[in-house]
Amino acid sequence: MTSPLSPTEPGPQDGLCVAQTLGTTRLLWLNLPSKRNALAPELRESLLGLIREASADETVRCIVIAGTQGCFSAGGDLSTMKGITSVAGRARMERACDLMRTVIECPKPIIAAVEGWSVGAGLSLMAACDIVIAGQDAKFSLPFGNLGLIPDLASLYTLPARIGMGRTKWMAFTRRRIDAAQAVDWGLIEEVAPTGTALQAALEMAAEVAKGAPLTNTYTKQMLARHPLPLPEFLAAERDAQAILYTSEDFAEGFNAFFEKRAPKFEGK
């Protein structure tokens, strides 16, 4: 297995997302250190393409997203918004929506490894991931109101599910910053790791996730993304998904492994 790049050093392609394959994990670096990994259009497009590649790669079981130089993402790149027209703004948001749709609908679990700042659009990207592990020094905020914009990149969709409607409003309206301890208490993130170790914790969790049946992970993500459906529709979707999995090779392997008292070896089929 190749060792990951140090998150405190610039990656080889400044301004783009850099991918590494670590066993069954695809590690994606947000790599614009000169702007604290602000989600500039080129970086967003690069991330979008790499997530799609990882989604289609049968050898990838889990995706981890991290930021270089000890910062997850400081938000959007304001320098690319000066003088933007309504037409250009709509086109920009269409591409941003493509990214968030791809993250949320990705068939592979996505883990965010957060150090330093995760604010604005960076927090939006983080909140769309399935699991978030953050270092103790991490800071989170939604400062869109300071710019006269609404919180975007699906944050008003994902945050109520994570922290509730009231706390989402609190973050959006007050624009106050919270730390990792408060974030984990609220459910904004899942785990806090010692500063500088969030990536290692995320990679260890990715390896644990990879031991589960890939099809199970995919259908579980699909089911969770269907909230809030009326109960009859949700149960119908659950019925259909389970009926498919009953006939999968992974279920046969998991069933046999259980009774043979051994660890299953899933193939995602």
Domain range annotation of the chain: 16-210, 214-259
Over 90: is that where the pLDDT of 254 sits? yes
Across the range 191-216, mean pLDDT stands at 97
Cα-to-chain-centroid distance, residue 144: 20
According to the CATH classification, is domain 214-259 in 1.10.12?
A: yes
Count of helices and strands (H, E) across the chain: 10, 9
Percent of the chain having pLDDT more than 90? 87
Helix ranges (H only) for the chain are: 41-56, 86-105, 121-128, 155-163, 165-174, 180-186, 198-210, 214-225, 231-246, 249-259
Distance (Å, whole) CA 60 – CA 47? 16
pLDDT for res 2? 55
pLDDT in tens, 101-114: 999 999 999 999 99
Distance (Å, whole) CA 152 – CA 156? 7
Question: Residue 188's pLDDT band (boundaries 50, 70, 90)?
Answer: very high
Q: What are phi and psi of 187, to 5 degrees?
A: 95, 10
Hey, what are 225's tokens? 């993304």
Across the range 222-235, mean pLDDT stands at 89
Averaged pLDDT of the chain:
93
Hey, what are 86's tokens? 């309504």
Neighbours of 49 (CB within 10 A): 15
Over 50: is that where the pLDDT of 7 sits? no
For the chain, give the number of residues: 269
Closest CA to 42 of 77, 72, 71, 10: 77
**Topology of the domain comprising 16-210:** 2-enoyl-CoA Hydratase; Chain A, domain 1 (3.90.226)
Q: By three-state DSSP, how is residue 193 classified? A: strand
Distance (Å, whole) CA 258 – CA 243? 20
pLDDT for res 1? 46
Neighbours of 2 (CB within 10 A): 9
